[in-house]
Amino acid sequence: MSFELVACNLGAFVTALMGVFGLLAPRRAAEFISIKPVGDNGISEIRATYGGLFLALGVLCLFSQTPTFFIAAGVAWVGAACGRLFSIFLDKNNDARNFGGLCLELVVGLLLLAPPYI
């Protein structure tokens, strides 16, 4: 297996692992990402978005090994990083955790976009 494919699969694995975290430990996941779910619907939202969505995206990449899915997942992660960068400048959020989130999103996104897929 090439280095590039290992990188893409590592990004997909991290995506799926974060999905498992959101699905099985939604309160801890919410605390980790600095949000507060409101009631049972808030917990359901964490399980759905940070759990099921991330898990499905990562598993799809891992099982399909299709460049299109790696690219879509990578673009989604880089899009999240761009949104966070926008927040750093627009909201003046210079918190260390925010920069950590930016780094994580960029690294996972770039892993998923590793050549030869870009």
116 pLDDT higher than 70: no
Confidence category of residue 2, pLDDT binned at 50, 70, 90: confident
Q: 48-98, pLDDT tens digit by residue?
A: 999 999 999 999 999 999 999 999 999 999 999 999 999 999 999 999 999
Residues 6+ apart with CB under 8 A from 8: 61, 70, 111, 112, 113, 114, 117
How do the domains of the chain map onto residue ranges?
Answer: 3-112
